[in-house]
């Protein structure tokens, strides 16, 4: 996660939202921690309005909750929530892959091949330090190939939600190379215009990721 930089060029409300979301998903803020609007604004050297807007968005996503006499607190991210996200991703990524293959054009086909080569080089390099950022980049490109801005936005949001848990999964059991190879195969299939095969491979990828998560991820206080 990048450090806070109030001078970064993007709408302040969006910048605050992404910063706080990353802090929660990467474990910098824990379940039950209070997020006090005025304290956050003072820490970031900004007005309270973008902080308030960010907290509203985080609450709508279920990452924080407003409690009587306590204010805004970080919600626990349960095993059930993560599994639910995987279930939704399975359906939506399958849809994205099918649409991408159906709508493939020469420019996108060329980009798919370029990304396939990037993935192959990444696997050969074996550098896990940048795995999470690279994985998100691959996903963002894959989602864009469906040429559906609304579907793209939903998938990006869901993928970012589970990024911290995906990182733990990648670090264990050789899942990183497996996942990247699955992405490469999906992009190759999309480039061939095989909609049904692309959909099946994409859904299988999420099923494999969910299985790896259930095997490797442990939760405090949960079985």
Query: What are 49-78's pLDDT values in tens digits?
Result: 999 999 999 998 888 999 998 999 999 888
**15 pLDDT higher than 50:** yes
* pLDDT for the residue 164: 66
Q: Number of helices (H) and strands (E), helices first, in the chain? A: 10, 2
* pLDDT for the residue 220: 38
Looking at the domain assignment, is residue 5 inside a domain? no
* pLDDT for the residue 34: 96
- 115 plus 189 within the same structural domain: yes
- 19 plus 96 within the same structural domain: no
- 56 plus 152 within the same structural domain: no
Q: Domain holding 49: CATH number?
A: 1.10.10.10
> Residue 179 and residue 136: Cα distance in Å, rounded?
12
* pLDDT for the residue 56: 94
- 33 plus 105 within the same structural domain: no
Mean pLDDT of 5-22: 78
CB-count burial class (<10 Å; 0-12, 13-18, 19+) for 125: exposed
**222 pLDDT higher than 50:** no
- 185 plus 84 within the same structural domain: yes
Looking at the domain assignment, is residue 99 inside a domain? yes
> Residue 38 and residue 28: Cα distance in Å, rounded?
19
pLDDT digits (tens, 9 = 90+) for 124-180: 887 666 777 888 899 999 999 999 999 999 999 888 888 766 666 666 667 888 999
pTM: 0.77
Domain hosting residue 106, numbered range? 79-216
- 180 plus 131 within the same structural domain: yes
List the structure tokens of 191: 């480039």
* pLDDT for the residue 33: 95
pLDDT band at 219 (very low <50, low <70, confident <90, very high): very low
User: What would the DSSP string read from start to end of 151-202?
Assistant: HHHHHHHHHHHTHHHHHHHHTSTTHHHHHHHHHHHHHHHHHTT-HHHHHHHH
**221 pLDDT higher than 60:** no
Q: Which of 74, 93, 110 delimits the end of a domain? A: 74
Name, in order, each residue with C-beta under 8 angstroms of 217's C-beta and a sequence gap of 6 or more.
79, 82, 165, 168, 169
* pLDDT for the residue 48: 95
Q: Which of 51, 74, 97 delimits the end of a domain? A: 74
- 90 plus 171 within the same structural domain: yes
Looking at the domain assignment, is residue 169 inside a domain? yes
- 121 plus 155 within the same structural domain: yes
Looking at the domain assignment, is residue 221 inside a domain? no
- 203 plus 155 within the same structural domain: yes
User: What would the DSSP string read from start to end of 83-116?
Assistant: HHHHHHHHHHHHHHHHHHHHT--HHHHHHHHHHH
Q: Is 219 helix (H, G, I), strand (E, B) or coil?
A: coil
pLDDT digits (tens, 9 = 90+) for 80-107: 888 999 999 999 999 999 999 999 999 9
**117 pLDDT higher than 90:** yes
* pLDDT for the residue 28: 87
- 51 plus 85 within the same structural domain: no
Looking at the domain assignment, is residue 145 inside a domain? yes
Q: Which of 74, 91, 117 delimits the end of a domain? A: 74
**6 pLDDT higher than 60:** no
pLDDT band at 22 (very low <50, low <70, confident <90, very high): confident
- 70 plus 84 within the same structural domain: no
Would you tell me how many other CB atoms lie within 10 Å of the CB of residue 154? 16
Q: Considering its fold, how many domains does the chain have in total?
A: 2
Q: Domain holding 157: CATH number?
A: 1.20.120.530
């Amino acid at each position: 996660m990048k450090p806070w930089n109030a001078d970064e060029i993007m709408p302040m409300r969006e910048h605050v939202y992404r910063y706080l979301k990353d802090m929660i998903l990467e474990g910098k803020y824990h379940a039950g921690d209070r997020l006090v609007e005025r304290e956050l604004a003072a820490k970031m050297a900004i007005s309270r309005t973008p902080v308030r807007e960010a907290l509203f968005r985080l609450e709508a996503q279920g990452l924080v909750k407003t409690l009587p006499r306590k204010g805004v607190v970080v919600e626990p991210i349960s095993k059930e929530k993560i599994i639910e996200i995987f279930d939704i991703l399975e359906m939506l990524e399958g849809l994205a892959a099918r649409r991408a293959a159906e709508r493939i054009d020469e420019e996108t086909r060329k980009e798919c091949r370029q990304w396939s080569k990037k993935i192959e080089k990444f696997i050969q390099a074996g550098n896990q330090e940048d795995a999470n950022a690279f994985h998100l980049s691959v996903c963002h490109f894959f989602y864009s190939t469906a040429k559906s801005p609304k579907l793209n936005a939903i998938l990006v949001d869901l993928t970012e939600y589970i990024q911290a848990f995906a990182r733990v999964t990648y670090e264990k059991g050789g899942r990183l190379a497996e996942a990247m190879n699955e992405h490469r195969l999906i992009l190759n299939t999309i480039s061939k215009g095989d909609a049904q095969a692309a959909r099946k491979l994409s859904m299988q990828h999420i099923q494999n990721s969910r299985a790896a998560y259930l095997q490797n991820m442990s939760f405090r206080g949960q079985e």
